Amino acid sequence: MPNERQDANAGNEAESPFKGKTGLSRICNALSYSLAGLRAAYQHEDAFRQELWLAAVLIPLALLLPANVQGKALMIASVLLVIIVELFNSAIEAAIDRISLDQHRLSKRAKDIGSAAVLIALTNVMIIWGLVLFG
Instruction: Pick the catalytic residue from 15, 51, 86, 93.
Output: 86
> Is residue 86 flagged as an active site residue?
yes
CA-to-CA distance for 135 and 120, rounded, in angstroms?
Answer: 20
Chain centre to alpha carbon of residue 108: 19
| CB of 34 closer than 8 Å to CB of 91 | no
Tell me how far apart the alpha carbons of residues 133 and 87 are, in angstroms, rounded to a whole number.
28
Write out the catalytic residue numbers: 86
